[in-house]
A and B are shown apart, each in its own frame.
Chain A
Amino acid sequence: DAGVIQSPRHEVTEMGQEVTLRCKPISGHDYLFWYRQTMMRGLELLIYFNNNVPIDDSGMPEDRFSAKMPNASFSTLKIQPSEPRDSAVYFCASTPLAGAGYNEQFFGPGTRLTVL
């Protein structure tokens, strides 16, 4: 199993540009999570999906952020327009289980985003 796949691994863009981050969860996993890691705030949940349906997007910082999961094997996180304060590492994670085991999530390697 290849694990959770994220692309790109690094993204450098200029303020105002659109950024799209991609994630392929582990096959058979029903839950998909997007996290952001910064020095100030640590690892924070942005949004999560169950069976491709967004369940909770209360962590999405602003309307500039949007996420989609068109099918069970693909999700995107889009920032439009991007700002320097969006610079962070963005992680995608998935898990197959509900209940307590639901929390043993499998993380991708992350996308390091730098907005100049």
Chain B
Amino acid sequence: DQQVKQNSPSLSVQEGRISILNCDYTNSMFDYFLWYKKYPAEGPTFLISISSIKDKNEDGRFTVFLNKSAKHLSLHIVPSQPGDSAVYFCAASDSGNTPLVFGKGTRLSVIA
């Protein structure tokens, strides 16, 4: 039973356009959400996070949106660059020191 779902295994976007990666969760106790980025042969690295008291968090080209009623979050990358090509993992937890639950990841390819 997957509590964090990334239903798109892969996504291909033209350089300069917007990339939108989606994530759904089922556990209503989750109140802290993160995105990690992973390049081949490397470990995941933290990208951006959002807590449930917000519906948007922005960091440069990266914006995460949270829709609590729909239990849905998304990561927007604008503009997309070839260096953004990686696997993106969505993760969630409740803030009570419980471990992260990860989605299976979405492979983003940004085409020049």
Contact = CB atoms under 8 A, between A and B. Distances in A.
Interface of A: 4, 33, 35, 41-45, 48, 56, 91, 93, 98-100, 102-110
Interface string B17-41: 0000000000000001010100001
Contacts, number: 53
A35 B51 CA distance: 23
Contacts of B95: 99-100
B97 A91 contact: no
Interface of B: 32, 34, 36, 41-46, 49, 51, 89, 91, 93, 95, 97, 99-105
B99 A109 contact: no
A47 to B, nearest CB: 10
A103 B36 CA distance: 11
B49 A103 contact: yes
Given A42-B104, A44-B102, A102 B97 contact: yes
